[in-house]
């Protein structure tokens, strides 16, 4: 087996700097010689929450997503855009902001790179159990697409079937729901809640 190649960045240029994402063009040394240009979307990362109540129902949101031109069923989720905020705290904040819930027990289900061919976005998917009502955090105001969200509680088994039916297509939701179902049925060892 050949030695691993060192994919060194030979040059990097910022092409676009946006509110949430940026785009850079990297020139990277390739195996066997030569180099190649790679366009990379830099993203702050995100969290998603599989919130399961005591009746094994999962909280789902229906939210409009402009890039796909339609509504998607999703988990409570959000950007890791608060400086220095640990991911678990972001997940707790998003759960309170989007669906006015808190949870007594938290587990890290999985972490995923949604589109590693061009984007560095890492999504941490948490399992939240022991749900209870919670106020929205001070200073939070729902705006834009959040004003049009629908919130439902769906039996986990039904939500998993909706993944296979093609009704749930959001990557974090698909991964989170399947991981939660597997965690329920097989009891795998989960990583510590503060892992990344």
Closest C-alpha to 129, from 166, 66, 180: 180
Q: Find all residues with CB under 8 Å of 20, minimum gap 6, and list them.
A: 43, 44, 79, 81
Two tokens at 19?
């509110």
β-pairing, 101-113 with 77-79? unpaired
Of the residues 13, 121, 129, 146, only one is catalytic, namely: 146
**DSSP three-state, residue 193:** coil
Are 39 and 136 contacting, i.e. CB atoms less than 8 angstroms apart?
no
146 is catalytic: yes
Q: Please identify every residue annotated as catalytic.
A: 146
């Amino acid at each position: 087996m050949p030695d691993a190649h060192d994919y060194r960045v030979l040059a990097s240029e910022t092409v676009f700097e946006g509110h949430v994402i940026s785009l850079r063009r990297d020139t990277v040394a390739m195996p066997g010689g030569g180099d190649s240009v790679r366009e990379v979307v830099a993203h702050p990362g995100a969290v998603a929450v599989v919130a399961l109540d005591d009746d094994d129902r999962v909280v789902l949101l229906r939210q409009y997503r402009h890039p796909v031109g339609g509504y998607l069923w999703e988990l409570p989720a959000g950007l890791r855009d608060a400086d220095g905020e640990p991911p678990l705290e972001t997940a707790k904040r998003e759960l309170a902001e989007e669906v006015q819930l808190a949870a007594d027990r938290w587990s890290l289900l999985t972490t995923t790179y949604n589109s590693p061919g061009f984007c560095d976005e890492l999504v941490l998917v948490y399992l939240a159990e022991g749900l209870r009502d919670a106020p929205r955090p001070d200073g939070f105001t729902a705006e834009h697409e959040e004003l049009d969200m629908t919130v439902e509680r769906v039996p986990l088994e039904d939500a998993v079937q909706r993944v296979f039916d093609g009704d749930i297509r959001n990557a974090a939701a698909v991964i989170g729901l399947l991981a939660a179902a597997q965690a329920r049925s097989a009891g795998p060892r989960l990583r510590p809640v503060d892992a990344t």
